[in-house]
Each structure stands twice: as C-alpha cells, then as structure tokens.
Amino acid sequence: MIQPQGTRLVAGLFCQCRSAETHASVDPGGGCGPPPVSPRPPQDSRSGSDIPDHACDVCGGPDQEHRLKVLFEILDVNGDGGICVNDLSIGLKKLGVHRTEHELRRMVTAGDKDLDGQLDFQEFVQYLRDHEKKLRLVFRSLDRKNDGRIDSQEIMQSLRDLGIHLTEEQAEEILRSMDTDGTMTIDWDEWRDYHLLHPADNIPEIILHWRHSTILDVGESIVVPDEFTAEEKKTGMWWRHLVAGGGAGAVSRTCTAPLDRLKVLMQVHASKTNSMRIGSGFLHMIREGGVRSLWRGNGINVIKIGPESAIKFMAYEQIKRLIGSNQETLGMTERFVSGSLAGAIAQSSIYPMEVLKTRLALRKTGQYSGILDCAKHILRSEGVAAFYKGYVPNMLGIIPYAGIDLAVYETLKNSWLQRFATDSADPGVFVLLACGTTSSTCGQLASYPLALVRTRMQAQASLQAGPQLSMAALFRLIVRTDGALGLYRGLAPNFMKVVPSVSISYVVYEHLKRSLGVQSR
C-alpha cells in the first residue's frame, strides 16, 4: 500500500521550486529540444511583479495553477514549453526525487494526449490533477479517524485488512519517510507532496474496488485478468479471489446454461429457411430430450473454469515479467498485450474442452453417454485434429473482445472516478455491475461473428453430410445465404444471459469471498 522509498520530497513540493530554480545548474545537453535558457523568476499573475522570496507566496496561496506553473518551469529544463522524459529526469533530481526511466516514461505517456512525446502545460496540469484526485481517495480511505491526518495505527489497520501485519516500529518507519514536520503523523499536504510525482495507473485502493473479470462471469473466458496488489500476492489472497471467482462462475453458468445451449443451437442451425426463435428453440430442446436436456454441455463448461483461470493468471504474471515490467500494476496497453497473450495461452491449453462443450450441447438423446464417451468418439472417427477445429477464429476473437472490454471498462471507471468519487474509490454494487455488464456486452458484440464461425467449425463434422469448410469459406457462405445479420445468429439469448450471469456471479462471489476469509474493505 505505502512503501518507504530511499528518497523523499522535502516538505512542501512547491516550496522547493524557487530555490531549485535559482540555484540548480542544468547540463546543457540534458534537454530534449533547443539549448537551455535561464529560467525567469515567476511573475505574480495579479501584479506582474516578482514574487517575494518566501515559501507561502509561491506555494501556500490559493492560486493552484500558479503553483503548477512554477513547478512546470522547473521541470521544463530547456524552456521549450514541453516536458519530455529527459527533462523530467533532470527536473525531478533537482527537487530530490529519483525515478526510474520506466516510471518517467509512464508519467509522460499517461498525460501525453496529443502523442507528441512530451507534456505541454495543459497536459501537465491535467495529469497532476487526475493523479491528485486518486491520491486523495487513498488518503481518505487511510484516514479512518477522519481527522485529516494518518498515524501509525491507521496504517497498521489498513494493511491488516489486506492481510499484512506490521509492527508499530515498521509503521512508524513508513511515517518517517513522509513526515516533514516531525509530528509522526501525515497530513494531506505531506501525503500529496510525497506521492504526486510518482506514476500510478492503478492505485491499490482503486484496484481493490474495481475488479470485474474475476468477479463477473458472463460465460466468456477471454477477458484480460484483473490486477492484484503486491500485498495480496505476498499473502496468498490472490488464490482465494480466484477460487471465489471460479465458484461464482460455476453457479452463474449453471443457472444460465439453458440460454447458452439455445445460443449454440441457433448459431449452428438457425437460418432464413427455418423458423428457430427463442421460444421454438426451447420447445425443440424440451421435446427432444426433456427439461434436463437444457443443461447439455454445462458440465464441461464448468469443469474448464478451474484450469483456464489458473493457466491464464500464471501466464499473465510471467508475461508481465517478460515485457520488462517490475511495477505492481500495468498501464492499459501493457495490460491488453499481456492479457491477450495470457488468454491465448490458456485457450490453447483447454481448447479441446471447448470443442467437447459444443458437441455435447448439440448432441441428440443417447448419442453420447458422457464427456469421456464423446471424447473417445471424436478421437476414433475424426482424429486429434478435430479437437482444434475453430481454433483460428477463436484466437482472433480474443483481440476485439479483450481490447474493447478493457477499454470500455477503464473509460467508464475513470469517468466515474473523476466525476463522482469524493470520499472513496468504491463505486458501489450497481455502478460496478453496470460498468462490467456494459463492457462485456460491447466486447461480445465486436467478437460475435468470429465466435459464431468458431462454433460452426467445431460442429461441422457432427452434421450429417456437412461440408468441412475453412474459416474464410464459412464467412462467405453465411453472408451469401443469410446476409450480414447471419453472423449474429443467437445473439439475443447470448445477451439475455448477460445480466443474470453478472448478478448471480457477483452475489456468489461475495458470499464465497467471506467464506474464504477475504475481508471486504
């Protein structure tokens, strides 16, 4: 949550600006633009005169934009009106702050809206204001006494909730790293000054409240994994979250299995020449195999949750290391790349189970006695290659689904945090469910044609006298015979199960989480 660092920003970040501006020397080759120029003393926006040489006039006044302007001039070491990574490195060192090149690049990337490789003043101000708002949320969550200060007991209690047990001496050491007035408590200014110029895409407080792929199960397993804090990984809380998420997914998928089977039937059999609709589809299943037939294919769908979740999580953590990130959390682009690759690895590992699920959902009464019998039949009659039919469109579907789901969810999350978060990063149940449902629905809509073609390819050999078409040939056939809307057969039952799936998985997840001893914050 809060880690002591080797360097600390001296009390009052902005109080350093004038002295650093006046006395620091700049390496002529250090900037990223024209040669350095001597910085001009800041002008008072009201009188035009030089600001008197005392801290409160520079930093303690109400004119926040003026204070940020002074800081910007310090960090813009070559005076070209933009802060690049090299500027940031030199400027922060002048203020006694040392960051790695990776951290500096994250800061610039996070605020660089016009993608020119540097921050102009407006981008710099917006980045700091957004970041400061996140820091205020964390500060308020730590300030349990609501007295505007954080003491060692509050730090100990907050970390204890995450499963981290500190001695009072360790908590006091954390305090000392930020305490500039010797009171052994941290007020908002000390907290802000210490953390403000440190990059943070996902502060732990926000991570804890805004998970959705672990908590909300909509029947698809190609979403980008959730982040876990370093403390949760260290204490083993992560596996309890995954177990709770797996149990919630099993219950959710079982409750919505009839809709999922109807979706598969409509993807494979519905066309312009037949009248299969939601009502007629349910009647067909019940007449052919009774009420129990509505759950065909659900067993293997539940069984694959465990290995797929475990493989995806472990792959995600390894890929994060391979791409060179030692940060607690990743930026959105890094998360997308790591999550998509992890999803591809997990799907490749359990893909035969996906084929079995489709075949079992489409089977007629008495065709197979169970999962193993179905697998033996496919192996004998079609060979090992049959277990990977539809593999290519399935892998291609990961990119639009995972990318859009992540982008929409992060956009909704950040919008809520900026507009409505005041005392806590906790959005509440309804906001979390609404954001998760919306992002998942958008992801499914974008990848649905590929999912339909995948299901058709998995089912081809089970259809009597059915031709074995390639992915491209299937796309052409569907568009030619049914039009573009044919690529969305079965979409209605698929969307019908989203809201109940999300609701059920959330309720079960919260119950299992408490049973496993994971404390809610």
Question: Are 274 and 176 contained in the same domain?
Answer: no
CATH code (residue 311): 1.50.40.10
- Residues 413-442: what's their mean pLDDT? 78
Domain end (from 148, 178, 213): 213
Integer angstrom CA distances of residue 520 from 33, 243, 324: 49, 16, 32
Check pLDDT > 50 for residue 43. no
Check pLDDT > 80 for residue 375. yes
Amino acid at 126: Q
Reported pTM: 0.61
Count of structural domains within the chain: 2
Question: Which of 352, 351, 344 is CA-nearest to residue 315?
Answer: 344
Question: Are 267 and 407 contained in the same domain?
Answer: yes
- 214-223 tens-digit pLDDT: 555 555 655 5
Confidence bin at 293 (pLDDT 50/70/90): very high
Residues 6+ apart with CB under 8 A from 483: none
Question: Are 201 and 244 contained in the same domain?
Answer: no
Question: Are 293 and 332 contained in the same domain?
Answer: yes
Is residue 163 situated within a structural domain? Answer: yes
DSSP label at residue 34: S
Residues 6+ apart with CB under 8 A from 273: none
Q: How far apart are CA 462 and CA 267, in angstroms?
A: 14
Check pLDDT > 50 for residue 15. no
Domain end (from 185, 213, 241): 213
Q: What ranges in 187-269 are assigned the alpha helix state H?
A: 188-195, 204-209, 230-235, 237-255, 257-269
Q: How far apart are CA 386 and CA 462, in angstroms?
A: 11
Range of the domain at 455: 230-516
Q: What's the whole-number average pLDDT of the chain?
A: 76
Q: Which pLDDT does position 360 carry in this prediction?
A: 95
Q: How far apart are CA 1 and CA 85, in angstroms?
A: 26
Is residue 366 classed as helix, strand or coil in its secondary structure? coil
Integer angstrom CA distances of residue 130 from 117, 289, 452: 19, 57, 41
- 143-177 tens-digit pLDDT: 878 888 888 888 777 766 655 566 788 778 778 87
Question: Are 206 and 249 contained in the same domain?
Answer: no
Confidence bin at 422 (pLDDT 50/70/90): low
Q: Which pLDDT does position 493 carry in this prediction?
A: 93
- 52-69 tens-digit pLDDT: 333 333 333 445 677 778
- 176-221 tens-digit pLDDT: 877 888 888 888 888 777 777 665 444 455 555 555 555 555 556 5
